[in-house]
A and B are shown apart, each in its own frame.
Chain A
Amino acid sequence: MTTETLPKQENADSALGVHVKGYIERVKGGELGALPAVLGLVILCVVFSILRPAFLSAVNFANLFTQGAAVAVIAMGLIFVLLLGEIDLSAGFASGVCAAVLAVLLTLQGWPWYLAVLAAMATGAVIGLVLGSLVAKLGIPSFVVTLAAFLAFQGVVLLLVKDGTNISIRDETILAIANKNVPPAIGWAALVVGVAAYAAIQVLQARRRTARGLVSTPMAVIAARVATLAVVAGFAVYVLNLERSRNAAIVSLKGVPIVVPLIVILLIVWTFVLRRTAYGRHIYAVGGNAEAARRAGINVDRIRISAFVICSFMASIGGIIAASRANSVDPNTGGSNVLLFAVGAAVIGGTSLFGGKGRALDALLGGAVVAVIENGMGLMGYSAGVKFVVTGSVLLLAAGVDALSRKRAAATGRR
């Protein structure tokens, strides 16, 4: 046992050393964090760009975002449920139900887009309230509740989309979400503001902690983080701002798809909630040790229910994005592989199926991996069958990594 209470920050070099050593120790101890997803993403991108140069084109790059958006958003909501060690198998079809509500109100009832969107999101919240209450109050395992809902919601979508095989969406605003782009200048401006704000928050926080004599993140680490964000996001904005139209003279196609800033805002909001609020802290606590949370006076049932509400609410946003991208809603919206991809995205991103571990960012990292696999394999000309098999295997692989890292954590006394 060492005999320091709080290592005071002696100088920047040793603080950096401690930081890096701490990270390496955590990885060795089984806390892999974002590592597998980032490595996987890099490898997949390299492989696909070598095999299919078209993978690297600006058009395809933009496609990746609009293709993966709905799944990533649904995954972000699922993370709240996964953090509690629960599962929501109905999130896919919940998004379908909400999309169908949107389409019916918008196209068949002629509601204005904002009311239809509100109604769709309210539908999501109510779905979550019902599912969460069944799990928390009645004590039915979430697996069963949401499996039943999975089937029932599939039926609800069929009932809502009764005339013909689909309802097309004609509202300009809704269509814009996945089909229109942010003007390039605004994209660049938002990037600069975003990176600057991130840097400012990190630096201010470190300064404040140093001033109070607390251990703070070394400046070198902050610089590395800010640089990484600037390079990755800057590259994305740069590529998305390239001309993607085959015939730019007739119609210009460039800029960041509107759905991207939407996802970034959701990411910031949920990251804030999880990391900076007492509510977020309680989610982790309930996922880590529900009994300890209860004894700490936390209303565990309310936390459970709220997680399902957030999950279904995010599914509704995912459904709206999917409807926008497809220009229509049909009985299969939110069906087939959507749920599997969303769960896969969360787990591949580093969220544990055992609860207590996960971040909102995981949904994007894992969602990117899933989108790249689907997109790249599509370019290679593989059939849907092969894509399903591969994505299923990747999910299993991620779940295996999750289980193994948990075992390793137990072996090294981290659990």
Chain B
Amino acid sequence: MSQGPILELRGINKSFGPVQVLHDVAFSAYPGEVTALVGDNGAGKSTLVKCIGGIHPIDSGEYFFEGERVHVSGPRDAAALGVEIVYQDLALCDNLDIVQNMFLGRERRNGLVLDEDTMEEMAAKTLAGLSVRTVKSLRQQVSSLSGGQRQTVAIAKAVLWNSKVVILDEPTAALGVAQTAQVLELVRRLADKGLAVVLISHNMNDVFAVSDRIAALYLGRMAAQVKASEVTHAQVVELITSGRSGELGLKNGNGAAS
């Protein structure tokens, strides 16, 4: 696609105390495309995502949305832009039901009173729009759902808000084969609807199955961001494990991205 990125980060640095987790990271996501964010355990993928979502403040760097410089200092700022994140640990409340979770923090109200009916209708519509038919009742507690169902709820929660960018942190890590296929199908459908989707995954098959672009993080640095059609499995694995692959990647494992 020839469109520019809807979300673009430049020169992001992030430290936790003395430990610098992200070094000068650049990252872009494009509407209608799935961008895979790959990297070894501890490379900083989740941290990058949390910076995008306003969970962690960034130390320095620039955050552009739809071409404009923005400042995201909390989850509500990100949500206001239309950036939604499905966290690795899902961030669902077990003691609340599906509708309650989908609207958490953004409840519909009639004056002071929660508008449960409208929320339930919107939740049902969203799930139907995603062709999700695997939950018995929208009023069942999330604690009673399977892993795949929880993932589905978390994704539905993210797209409920006419969001423009949806970021999924390892959505298939804890799932079986059938449920993984379902979730990947859902991921592809989101992009086909015109959303910019960022998919974090360890699984090369998953990555190549659905993504248009691949961004590889290596030890907190962006090794490369390339089109999926222009690289092989082996090259991506090399980028993940050593930060470079032939012409691609970091110049000396420590320097700036090519």
Expressed in whole angstroms, the minimum distance between the Cβ of B143 and any Cβ of chain A is 5
Task: Tell me whether B205 is interfacial, beta carbon within 8 Å.
Answer: no
Expressed in whole angstroms, the minimum distance between the Cβ of A202 and any Cβ of chain B is 14
Establish whether residues A281 and B95, one from each chain, have CB atoms under 8 Å apart when the complex forms: no
Q: Bound complex: CA of A5 vs CA of B146, how far in Å?
A: 15
Q: Which residues of A contact B (CB under 8 A)?
A: 1-7, 29, 208-209, 212, 214-215, 276-278, 281-282, 284-285, 287-289, 291-298, 356-357, 409, 413-415
Task: Tell me whether B160 is interfacial, beta carbon within 8 Å.
Answer: no
5 inter-chain pairs at a CB distance below 8 angstroms, sorted by A residue, are A215-B139, A281-B96, A296-B104, A413-B143, A413-B146
> Which residues in A have their C-beta under 8 angstroms from that of B137?
6-7, 215
B79 to A, closest residue via Cβ: A297
> Which residues in A have their C-beta under 8 angstroms from that of B113?
276-277
Mark interface residues in B114-130 (1 if CB within 8 Å of A CB, else 0).
10010011001001100
Mark interface residues in B55-99 (1 if CB within 8 Å of A CB, else 0).
100000000000000000011100100000101011111111000
> Which residues in A have their C-beta under 8 angstroms from that of B85?
295
Given contacts A2-B136, A285-B104, A297-B79, contact A292 B117 (CB under 8 A): no
Establish whether residues A287 and B105, one from each chain, have CB atoms under 8 Å apart when the complex forms: no
Establish whether residues A214 and B121, one from each chain, have CB atoms under 8 Å apart when the complex forms: yes
B75 to A, closest residue via Cβ: A297
Q: Which applies to chain A's interface (DSSP): helix, strand, loop or mixed?
A: loop
Establish whether residues A3 and B117, one from each chain, have CB atoms under 8 Å apart when the complex forms: no
> Which residues in A have their C-beta under 8 angstroms from that of B146?
1, 413
Establish whether residues A3 and B93, one from each chain, have CB atoms under 8 Å apart when the complex forms: no
Mark interface residues in B98-114 (1 if CB within 8 Å of A CB, else 0).
00100011110100111
> Which residues in B have their C-beta under 8 angstroms from that of A284?
93, 95-96, 100
> Which residues in B have their C-beta under 8 angstroms from that of A291?
89, 91
Task: Tell me whether B133 is interfacial, beta carbon within 8 Å.
Answer: yes
Mark interface residues in B19-47 (1 if CB within 8 Å of A CB, else 0).
00000000000000000000000000000
Expressed in whole angstroms, the minimum distance between the Cβ of A41 and any Cβ of chain B is 25
The listed residue (A4, A208, A277, A357) touching B112 by CB distance below 8 A is A277
Establish whether residues A276 and B96, one from each chain, have CB atoms under 8 Å apart when the complex forms: no
Given contacts A7-B136, A285-B96, A414-B143, contact A276 B55 (CB under 8 A): no
Q: Bound complex: CA of A140 vs CA of B41, how far in Å?
A: 33
The listed residue (A3, A282, A295, A298) touching B55 by CB distance below 8 A is A295
